[in-house]
Structure 1
Amino acid sequence: MSLYETQIVDMGAEAEMFQAEGMMILFGEEVPEDLANYAYIINVNPVEGTIEEGMTLTIGSESYKITAVGDVVNKNLSNLGHIALKFNGATEPELPGTLNLEEKELPQVEAGTTITIQ
């Protein structure tokens, strides 16, 4: 059973720009206009539990081990759909809203791509 599940509903024109830095920005449909161009827009859904290190985040068919969880990731994901995914393997989050994942090639995403956390 998934702790969290959502779909990407839209992508900002510049969202893929951050992939070169190993990062994806997620934001719910209430994304502020100045951030909309840089975000992957998702449905805002509640997190059913607590996201923790060692769990798995899956984007489409690609899975990534969670290596660090910022202090506000659970709250922000449930309330705003807003977190930063960093694919760098770091064991300490740089910012409170960052979810760090194993360092691996970033997934190809499009509208309709599912994101789950187990």
Structure 2
Amino acid sequence: MTITSKIIEIGPNAIVESDPIAILFGPEATSNLKSVAVIQDFEDDHPKFNLKRGSQIKIHDTTYTITFCGELVNANLQGVGHVTLCFTPIPETPLESAIYLSPEKFPKFSVDDKITYIF
């Protein structure tokens, strides 16, 4: 199954070159969250996620494989379109609201780009 979203906004403090993470939220995010987040809008009004280790996410032209999927990820994505994408090795104590991805290469995020969740 696939679920696709479109990037509709990128906060002025969302992309930090030295920090290989991206915080995603849906369009209902508060203005404070929008300033530090990539805002995505799903094509489906009520997407049902079942992401897990081995699922994939395509951003721009790169397909990433999920190496860790936190326990809160699917519910957060379904509820408020939120997930933290980490392009780093899995730490000893990973974030339960995060997805860790391989390759560990930070993507280019642009307004109107698609993000495809494949599971």
User: How high is the TM-score relative to the length of structure 1?
Assistant: 0.87
CA contact (8 A) 2:21 2:84 kept: yes
Aligned-partner SS, 1:57 = strand
46-55 vs 85-94, greater mean Cα deviation:
85-94
Q: Which runs of 5+ in 1 are unaligned?
A: none
Residues 1-118 of structure 1 correspond to what in structure 2 (within 5 A)? 1-2=1-2, 4-17=3-16, 19-44=17-42, 45=44, 46-90=46-90, 94-118=94-118
Write the distance in 2 (CA, Å) between the matches of 1:30 and 1:13. 17
Q: Which runs of 5+ in 2 are unaligned?
A: none
Change (3 A) 1:93 1:5: farther
Aligned residue pairs total 116
CA displacement, residues 46-66 of structure 1 (integer Å, 9 cap, x when unaligned): 444410101111101111110
Write the distance in 2 (CA, Å) between the matches of 1:81 and 1:48. 11
Write the distance in 1 (CA, Å) between the matches of 2:78 and 2:49. 10
Shift of 1:32: 1.8
CA contact (8 A) 2:65 2:103 kept: no
Change (3 A) 1:90 1:47: farther
Shift of 1:93: 6.4
- Identical-residue share of aligned pairs (%): 28
Write the distance in 2 (CA, Å) between the matches of 1:32 and 1:92. 31
Shift of 1:104: 2.4
CA contact (8 A) 1:90 1:102 kept: no
Question: Structure 1: which 4+ aligned runs deviate by more than 4 Å?
Answer: none
Amino acid at match of 1:12: G
User: How high is the TM-score relative to the length of structure 2?
Assistant: 0.87
CA contact (8 A) 1:93 1:100 kept: no
Write the distance in 1 (CA, Å) between the matches of 2:114 and 2:60. 5
